[in-house]
Every structure is written in C-alpha cells, then in structure tokens.
Chains A and B, each alone.
Chain A
Amino acid sequence: DGGITQSPKYLFRKEGQNVTLSCEQNLNHDAMYWYRQDPGQGLRLIYYSQIVNDFQKGDIAEGYSVSREKKESFPLTVTSAQKNPTAFYLCASQRGQGYNSPLHFGNGTRLTVT
C-alpha cells in the first residue's frame, strides 16, 4: 500500500540538541510539506518542496532546516535555534505541482524537548 511514513512516532530530546525527523513517501508525489500542529491552532507550514533539490520556507521556518535529495524523502531538522520545538509534526505529500489536489499526511512525530 502506498503512503507516507514518519518516524519515530515519539521523540524526546534535551534542550540545545538538534534532532531530525524522517519522512518517506512511496506515492510518487512531487511535492512534500512539513507542518507543525499545536493545540487550538491550525496546521502551520514550516517548509515545502515541489521538486528534488529545491525547497521553500513556509510561515514558521525559523529554527528548522530541510533537504530534498530524493523524491521519496524530505527530512526535517529541528535545530537548537527553534525557541519552542515541542509540538506534533506532520509530513504531507501532494500529487503534482499544480493546485487542487489534496495533501496526504503521515501519522506524525510528537517531539518533546525538555
């Protein structure tokens, strides 16, 4: 079955450490996205990528970094510069670069930084 796999499901880190969240998709989708979800707020876009080796900042990119070396993979690094990193992180993919096709989501990584 095609889908999006995020790992790990839960991640715990000490303040000041960088951490990388994995996202892999086998849907052959061109576009991939990272969102952050906090209680009572809508999903907020961190980064997105429409093609390999290219990505754009979203609304809350500060303190995060990404890479897109393969079509299937879009890892997110949460750096020590992110002021409030504890959150639920969602990766998504979209079929094409055009509009109108829905996002397909993975099951998220819950990051806790203490």
Chain B
Amino acid sequence: EDQVTQSPEALRLQEGESSSLNCSYTVSGLRGLFWYRQDPGKGPEFLFTLYSAGEEKEKERLKATLTKKESFLHITAPKPEDSATYLCAVQAYEIDGQNFVFGPGTRLSVLP
C-alpha cells in the first residue's frame, strides 16, 4: 500500500497566486517528514524537516506545516523561479533501517 501520497500531481499557478501542496502519509511513529525541491535533470534539494504535529518551518515564500497524518507546503505569492517538482519523504519507526519513503511529487508551474 502507498505509505506517502502527494496531491495534486501537477499544479499550474499564475505568478502571485498562492496555493498549497499536500503530502499525506500512513506510517505510524513518524521520526521526520522532509520536503525537497527538484529541478529538471537535477537531484532533489533539501528544504525542510518537520518532526512533530503542529510544527511549522518557513523559507522565503515557502511554509511547511505538519499534522498527525499530513503535511502542507504553502507557497505565498509564487514567482516563475519557484517552478519545480516538490517531493516529500518520511522516516518512521516501522520503516526498516535508514529507509526514507518518498512520495511521487507535485509538479509546480508558475506562469509569469
């Protein structure tokens, strides 16, 4: 079964149009939830780690929040350079070893 899902699969925004991306997970005993940004042909770039429900992290136009079963990545007044695929990943007690479980990503396009 899918342990980490992301929605929507793709999102197209106009510059300045704020929105949110969702990451839902079914694992219990969460150790950490991680957000990454990935540009085409590049490796993922680390953005945030969230450890417990209620936690929030911010960086420029991005804000990540965490509840018991999902995380949101809020994008405020996005710019075209925010266009990328955003990945989330979880680590949990029930996952063997050092295995992170990644979601399939949300492909964000911000139009000028």
Contact present for B101 and A48 (CB under 8 Å): no
Contact present for B31 and A100 (CB under 8 Å): yes
Interface residues of B, CB < 8 Å — how many? 25
Instruction: Mark contacts of B69-96 with chain A using CB atoms, 8 A cut-off: 1 yes-contact digit, 0 otherwise.
Output: 0000000000000000001010100000
Total CB contacts across the A-B interface at under 8 A: 67
Closest to B48 in A: A102
A99–B99 Cα gap in the complex (Å)?
Answer: 10
Q: From DSSP, what is the main secondary structure of chain A's interface residues?
A: strand
Considering the complex, which residues of chain B in the window 30-71 have a beta carbon less than 8 Å from any beta carbon of chain A?
Answer: 31-32, 34, 36, 41-46, 49, 51
Instruction: Name the distance in Å between B38's Cβ and chain A's nearest Cβ.
Output: 9
A72–B89 Cα gap in the complex (Å)?
Answer: 24
Closest to A103 in B: B100
Instruction: Name the distance in Å between B62's Cβ and chain A's nearest Cβ.
Output: 15
Contact present for B98 and A42 (CB under 8 Å): no
A94 in contact (CB, < 8 A): yes
Contact present for B34 and A103 (CB under 8 Å): yes
Q: A99-B31, A100-B32, A100-B91 in contact; A108/B98 too (CB < 8 A)?
A: no
Residues of A within 8 A of B (CB): 4, 6, 31, 33, 35, 40-45, 48, 50, 56, 58-59, 90, 92, 94, 97, 99-100, 102-108, 110
